[in-house]
Structure 1
Amino acid sequence: MAKVGLMILLATTLCWATLADSVSRKSMNREASEDEGDIDRRLRLLNKPAVKSIRSADGDIIDCVDIHKQPAFDHPALKNHAIQMKPSIELPSETKATKNEHSKPAISQTWQKSGSCPKGTIPIRRIQRQDLLRASSPERFGKMYHPHSQEHVANSTLNENVRNVVINGTEVSLPYRKDRSQAVLYTAGFSYIGASGDINVWNPNLDLPDDFTTAQIWLLGGPGDKYESVEAGWMVNPKLYGDKQTRLFTHWTVDGSVSTGCFDLTCSGFVQTNSEVALGSAVNPISSDGGEQYQMSVGIFMDPNTSNWWLKLTNNLVVGYFPGSLFFYLKRKAIMVNWGGQVYSTMVKKSPHTRTAMGSGRYSETLHSHACYIKQVRIMDYSLSLKYPEMVQVYNDEVYCYNGNNHRDGYVGEPVFYFGGPGQNNFCP
């Protein structure tokens, strides 16, 4: 009798185990199906129907999309937005007489060798399934922030998130993120409606899979912990782009990248008007240590008649704009401008430090032909003319890992901002 009871017990246990395993597998299959569904929906949202597609030699696919059907218009604030095809003012630019001609321009992109987009379309780098699989979730693809960065903001005091500095007699807040290390030249205290500079192009070493590194210009407005910003420059970001090529990028946010904004056209926001440049596409050629230097001009300027922030590149190439309707503070002006570099990693400000490099990977003291630089540092105010900032300061998060140096040769000419570093080394353990 006891033997029969034991057999019944074992049979019942096996039945329940089989049922539980079946339920578990069905649940896993359903979750996998839901994940696949999320990815498919996101891909359909990101990749608009193409009039023409161009396969680049570097593996990118560039879709030529009707200018009126670009991702920007998925944003609620832009539902009835009428495209501004060009600025209502003449955007300022340096004359050849004032520019340093020792470095060559570098705003060619690999995809351009394989074709061009027709008039009335804009080139958009196609997002692939594997791009979304690298992100923590399909919704977070293209975002600046990492999850722990958001947790830090939520669980800390304002003083931990902000560093106050005084420049031009005005106290301003430098946003703090524990996963970011920066070396920047900054100015504050006036009403800025534009900034520009010439950045030489490098391809720095990347260490950890989630790391990325930038050389850029950005304008900021609003409180330090929830600042608004518009940004542009070059970046190496394998998690976003799937490789270690140096690429042109833009970025915007209205809350310090806690939940809003994105890179390039990976969310709705930036309105592109130019058919020649693909945001997120590789930039070449690259500068060499001790050799030829190649640079790109980057300028971001607000049209005072529309509050749109226009991006302008080398040879006065106007790419498009961040609509003023996205912003509150930046609808009128920026209160701070930064030029320089950033490294994002879970292993900055820690030991062992990431080996991801900034700039060329060389410190700022190595100067021309070795360090990354930004020349022709300029701001624009409501006079609508370019000028060197009245007062600037250098700020370094980790001076032994990455640093900046506003260097002037002799007593003539204006300074050049050099910046960069290797990350982990004998002085940055």
Structure 2
Amino acid sequence: MGKRRIIMLLLAMGLFVLSGGAADHHPHVKSKANQATLEVRKMLKLLNKPGVKTIKSEDGDIVDCVDIYKQPAFDHPALRNHKIQMTPNLQFASEVPSSSPSPSPSPIASSPVQNDHNSSQQILSQIWQKSGSCPGGTIPIRRIRRQDLLRAASLEHFGKKPANSYYSTNDEKGAVIINGTRVELGPQINRSAAILITVGYSYTGAQGDINIWNPRVQSPDEFTTAQIWLKNGPGDAFESVESGWVVNPKLYGDGASRLFVYWTKDAYKSTGCFDLTCSGFVHTNKYLALGMALGPVSSEMGPQYQATFSITKDFHTNNWWVRVGQNIPVGYFPPELFFYLTKGVAALVEWENHPHTATEMGSGDFAWGKLGNACYIKQVRIIDYSMQLKYPEWVGTYTDEEYCYTALNYAASLAEEPVFYFGGPGLNPPDCNYLL
């Protein structure tokens, strides 16, 4: 593609495998068990920073209000001397028109609920907020507990996605043509995709209004997410920053939709993680906690809820800021974490999963169900060096398991801007791939 950059919007799911064995009373086995217990305790101490206040959420989670200067980010060797940027320097030449409410001191408020599935409510509330708030100078961090670590395949894989792996193929299935440019997308062994994609130059951010649902995950070893994903670098070692909502029983222990961020420097091989489960992301918002449940969620032919997600480069600091709702800053990915992401970027929203399971994507309904049935991303915007929020000039859609999950960029008329719909039920009898 030469110097061109790619921007996509995708929905994501992934597969983790937890292995175990039968109990053994041999002394050697007991010694290994004792060592494993010590390692779990050590990691819990590393992950859970001492809080000045503790809040118990009604859904069972615990939030610790931690001094902002003592958060996990600063355990990263590259951030030892990092100076926190408390607010972003982001001003665009034109903002996306919105009927959503004005920002409030706390991001809990929202517009009046309408019981018409044809209208959408801008929502940005978390269940833990009903039980308290963190004082100034602190950030809310979801407490990691022993059972969270024990669900992981290993302590080293806690909070991480599996590395990307691709099938060897020479056909057209893993590519899409956008404005004459061939974009390679897969197919991938441990994930699939329903994508809105555009090709252009020097993108410095992306945003969209993402519909919030609570899709069913078949197995604790899988996850499903709707997100914005900014990406750059070679295919086998790309760098990316991501944000949106996720259902991830392996990581969080339940089937709730939760606010998340993610980053990697090497295509998920060894760097990066969800939320604050490793050092890297700098959290700045005392009202919003990463990894905590969102609510309410959309329902079939009922009220629709959405939140604006944005990831944008701050040219004053080169930090990649995550904002949600009405431009509410959550925090940022510092440039010290990356090489390629200090330059032009690509953004996408993907679903990734071990193929042919019954894990749902989006709402669990196919894209052609449209508003009230299918999950959507509205007000899709890219940002470039003109510092303007604008709809991409060239777009295309792609899905690699079209009988399981579908993608549709739909506009009712030429005068309307398209809405990106995506989703599906996954494997349901008969096999969703029986027509392939």
Q: Does 1:208 align with 2:211?
A: no
Q: What are the within-5 Å matches in structure 2 for residues 161-310 of structure 1?
A: 163=174, 165-174=176-185, 176-310=187-321
1:210–1:125 distance in 2 versus 1, CA, 3 Å: same
Contact between 2:100 and 2:122, CA under 8 Å: does it hold in 1? no
Q: What are the within-5 Å matches in structure 2 for residues 18-417 of structure 1?
A: 25-90=26-91, 93-96=95-98, 102-145=119-162, 149=163, 152=165, 163=174, 165-174=176-185, 176-334=187-345, 336-339=346-349, 341-345=350-354, 348=355, 353-417=356-420
2-side partners of 1:396 and 1:38: how far apart? 42
2-side partners of 1:54 and 1:170: how far apart? 51
Measured against aligned partners, the alpha-carbon deviations of 1:220-244 in whole angstroms (never above 9, x if no partner) come to 1011121111111111110000000
Measured against aligned partners, the alpha-carbon deviations of 1:356-403 in whole angstroms (never above 9, x if no partner) come to 000000000011111000000000001111000111111102111011
Measured against aligned partners, the alpha-carbon deviations of 1:287-344 in whole angstroms (never above 9, x if no partner) come to 010011010110000012221110010022111101111111111220x2223x4142
2:432 is matched with 428
1-side partners of 2:260 and 2:67: how far apart? 21
Contact between 2:308 and 2:325, CA under 8 Å: does it hold in 1? yes
Considering only aligned residues, what root-mean-square deviation do their CA atoms show, in Å?
2.3
Contact between 2:203 and 2:383, CA under 8 Å: does it hold in 1? yes
1:29–1:107 distance in 2 versus 1, CA, 3 Å: same
Contact between 2:201 and 2:344, CA under 8 Å: does it hold in 1? no
Measured against aligned partners, the alpha-carbon deviations of 1:132-161 in whole angstroms (never above 9, x if no partner) come to 00001112100011xxx57x57xx87989x
What SS does the aligned partner of 1:31 have? helix
2-side partners of 1:177 and 1:262: how far apart? 20
What SS does the aligned partner of 1:277 have? coil
2-side partners of 1:174 and 1:195: how far apart? 19
Contact between 2:282 and 2:331, CA under 8 Å: does it hold in 1? yes
Letter matched to residue 117 of structure 1: C
2-side partners of 1:81 and 1:173: how far apart? 36
- Deviation of 1:87 (Å): 1.5
Contact between 1:325 and 1:331, CA under 8 Å: does it hold in 2? no
What SS does the aligned partner of 2:368 have? helix
1-side partners of 2:65 and 2:188: how far apart? 37
Contact between 2:159 and 2:273, CA under 8 Å: does it hold in 1? yes
Letter matched to residue 285 of structure 2: N
The normalised TM-score by structure 1 is 0.87
Contact between 1:362 and 1:371, CA under 8 Å: does it hold in 2? yes
1-side partners of 2:190 and 2:211: how far apart? 25
Letter matched to residue 276 of structure 1: Y
Measured against aligned partners, the alpha-carbon deviations of 1:87-135 in whole angstroms (never above 9, x if no partner) come to 2233674233699992101210000000000111000000000000000
Identify unmatched segments of 5+ residues in structure 2: 1-23, 102-110, 112-117
Contact between 2:228 and 2:242, CA under 8 Å: does it hold in 1? yes
2-side partners of 1:89 and 1:103: how far apart? 26
1:168–1:72 distance in 2 versus 1, CA, 3 Å: farther
Measured against aligned partners, the alpha-carbon deviations of 1:54-95 in whole angstroms (never above 9, x if no partner) come to 000000000100000111111111111111111223367423
1-side partners of 2:174 and 2:336: how far apart? 28
2-side partners of 1:248 and 1:415: how far apart? 25
1:175–1:67 distance in 2 versus 1, CA, 3 Å: farther
2:9 is matched with none
Is 180-189 or 416-425 further displaced after alignment? 180-189
2-side partners of 1:170 and 1:191: how far apart? 16
Contact between 1:93 and 1:316, CA under 8 Å: does it hold in 2? no
More helix by share: 1
Is 90-99 or 30-39 further displaced after alignment? 90-99
Letter matched to residue 280 of structure 2: G
2-side partners of 1:58 and 1:204: how far apart? 18
What SS does the aligned partner of 1:191 have? coil
- Deviation of 1:177 (Å): 3.0
Contact between 2:187 and 2:400, CA under 8 Å: does it hold in 1? no
Greater gyration radius: 1
Letter matched to residue 110 of structure 1: I
Letter matched to residue 212 of structure 1: F
Is 99-108 or 319-328 further displaced after alignment? 99-108
Q: What is the number of residues matched between the two proteins?
A: 392
What SS does the aligned partner of 2:242 have? strand
2-side partners of 1:93 and 1:237: how far apart? 33
1:419 is matched with 422
Contact between 2:119 and 2:303, CA under 8 Å: does it hold in 1? no
Identify unmatched segments of 5+ residues in structure 1: 1-22
Measured against aligned partners, the alpha-carbon deviations of 1:3-26 in whole angstroms (never above 9, x if no partner) come to xxxxxxxxxxxxxxxxxxxx9822
Identity, % of aligned positions: 54
1-side partners of 2:278 and 2:313: how far apart? 21
The normalised TM-score by structure 2 is 0.85
Contact between 1:343 and 1:357, CA under 8 Å: does it hold in 2? no
2-side partners of 1:172 and 1:223: how far apart? 13
